[in-house]
A and B are shown apart, each in its own frame.
Chain A
Amino acid sequence: MTQPITARFQLQFANFQLAVDLSLPGAGITVLFGHSGSGKTTLLRCIAGLQRAPQGFLQINGNTWQDSESDFFLPTHKRSLGYVFQEASLFPHLTVAENLQFGLKRIAKSSANVNLQQTLELLGIEHLLSRMPERLSGGERQRVAIARALALNPEILLMDEPLASLDAKRKQELLPYFMRLHQELHIPILYVTHSQQEVAQLADYLVILAEGKVVATGSLPETLSRLDLPLSQDQQAATVWEGKIIGHELDYHLTRAAFEGEMLSLPAIDAEIGSPLRVQIFARDVSIALEAPKASSILNVLAATISGLVDDQAGQSLVQLKVSKQFLLALITRKSRLLLGLQIGMAVYVQIKGTSILN
């Protein structure tokens, strides 16, 4: 099946080369992940047309934006996109309302976002309309910048590390808005970040870049659990499971949730039965036993099969486990791995000591 977004670029700088060939989904959040210098921002700028790759082909929902073969390049201002920069980049000489109107005045009325009011509510900025940008907090500025981009009802939303310039507190303040965007927008969002936490919280689909090349692409749970990728070779290595709330145990302050047939007990969540949720399970919080523990304080014990193994240089082993259709990572000592005689294909039990709920 052809994907709605096709992007191929080749670009040469003095000491950097970008060479990518990507097909991306037409909905949800696709995170472009990589360290600084990996080319993720350059890729986003090529898609926006802010940077012109000498060789490039870009198609969004059947509309060609660039085709260097036929020397075609649609300038940025003619592309139906929304762009959020690392710094909000509001026009300092205009009020919030005028900033929001800036793009609206320049597009046909028919293609404007008829739900501008909803967008303002979604981002919680109705009360800021008459303010000048200099009188907004960093988080407020960034919310206005997002609303300004969405007001144009673009076919794609591009975000370049929109949280990177904010302190931890502001980040926490802004993340819920991103999650709401995720649920309520039906356009694809390309989101550039180098933060693993943002990846875990926001990504549906992940593109990992290094030195200007695509290292891996795939759904979030799949890419996070791959042992050959840098994400798993980190103390923060974790997998993400997506599921639904199936019940509450109010007496114990617990919530039960189902993930592809597997059930986990989680700290109580104030949400209705049936609500979707996403949990992050850190590899360091997962331990392995050969037999089902008969008596253990750990609630979440699941049957699993070892599907991958890799030792690091520091006495630790990373184990990839298959639990029904999902994958888990466990970070254990190499000594334990040898004592238990763990091998690929073995049936084991995993104990999950802790989970963190992402929404």
Chain B
Amino acid sequence: MLNEADIATLWLTFKVASIATVLMLLLGTPLAWWLARTQSRMKGIANALVALPLVLPPSVLGFYLLVLMGPKGLVGRLTTELGLGTLPFTFAGLVVASVLYSLPFVVQPLQTAFAAIGERPLEAAATLRASPLDTFFSVVMPLARPGFLTATILGFAHTVGEFGVVLMVGGNIPDKTRVVSVQIYNHVEALEYEQAHWLAGGLLVFSFTVLLLMYSVLKTQPVAHPIK
């Protein structure tokens, strides 16, 4: 069965994933909106940057984050200057790394949902006296609801499942940065296969349930409403 240390890693994983998901939605929504609508030449670069974690080995991303946030890195010097210390091997650092790592899983469904809405509902709202911000909340958000649902679920689930970035940036510190995936690794290293099974099986069931839930909800709620 799960021991106390295992339960602590579960709780920590849940905390990291929840906070990271909220941050990703806050950051990702304006970013996805911009990407869905801009004609700017920067769009290609921005798209590539956001998608980078999809193809990059997590250890590469983790390595650069470690360097960047370390005492000699640009971000590290800034956080030290601000009196926050350095971020690697802290809970905050883990959250920052998770946000960057899982961001494409939030931005891409939102971007697709926003693009599917098209120009017309926005124009209709403008002719009905709604300001652009008002339109975003009263028309875009409700129409993009399936996109938000997908983004939230994928962002959360992907953060729960990260390993490489966590190990590089967070390390393996109990109650601070030791998440489930790292704990599984620890158990396997120590040949505690039964413990590993409980956690690994748990994650497997969790991931499957989440995806099943998402697809069944999306089935009843088409991604893009046709506007007629």
Contacts and interface: CB of A to CB of B under 8 A. Distances in A.
6 contacts: A48-B127, A50-B123, A85-B124, A102-B128, A106-B128, A152-B128
Interface residues of B, number: 21
Nearest to B131: A77
B228 A88 contact: yes
Nearest to A138: B228
B134 interface: yes
B171 interface: no
Most buried by A among B134, B142, B226, B228: B228
B142 A87 contact: no
Contacts of B225: 92-93
A81 B123 CA distance: 13
B127 A81 contact: yes
A90 B138 CA distance: 13
B139 interface: yes
B130 interface: yes
Contacts of B125: 77, 91, 102
Nearest to B118: A89
Q: How large is the interface on A (under 10, 10 to 19, 20 to 34, 35 or more residues)?
A: 20 to 34
Contacts of A85: 120, 123-124
A213 to B, nearest CB: 25
Given A87-B227, A92-B227, A141-B228, A77 B126 contact: yes
Nearest to A51: B123
B129 interface: yes
Contacts of A148: 128
Contacts of A152: 128-129
A75 B126 contact: yes
Interface in A69-114: 75-78, 81-83, 85, 87-93, 102-103, 106-107
A245 to B, nearest CB: 39
Given A102-B128, A107-B129, A87 B228 contact: yes
Nearest to B124: A89
B73 interface: no
Contacts of B123: 50, 76, 83, 85, 89
A28 interface: no
Interface string B126-166: 11111110100011001100000000000000000000000
B53 interface: no
B71 interface: no
B120 A89 contact: yes
A34 interface: no
Most buried by A among B126, B128, B129, B143: B128
A106 B130 contact: yes
Interface in B81-140: 120-121, 123-132, 134, 138-139
Interface in B56-99: none
A89 B129 contact: no
A222 to B, nearest CB: 32
A112 B129 CA distance: 12
Contact of B120 (A87, A102, A106): A87
Nearest to A89: B124
B57 to A, nearest CB: 42
A48 B138 CA distance: 21
Given A87-B227, A89-B121, 18 more contacts: A76-B126, A77-B126, A77-B129, A82-B127, A83-B124, A87-B120, A88-B228, A89-B123, A91-B125, A91-B143, A92-B226, A93-B143, A93-B225, A102-B128, A102-B130, A103-B130, A106-B129, A149-B127
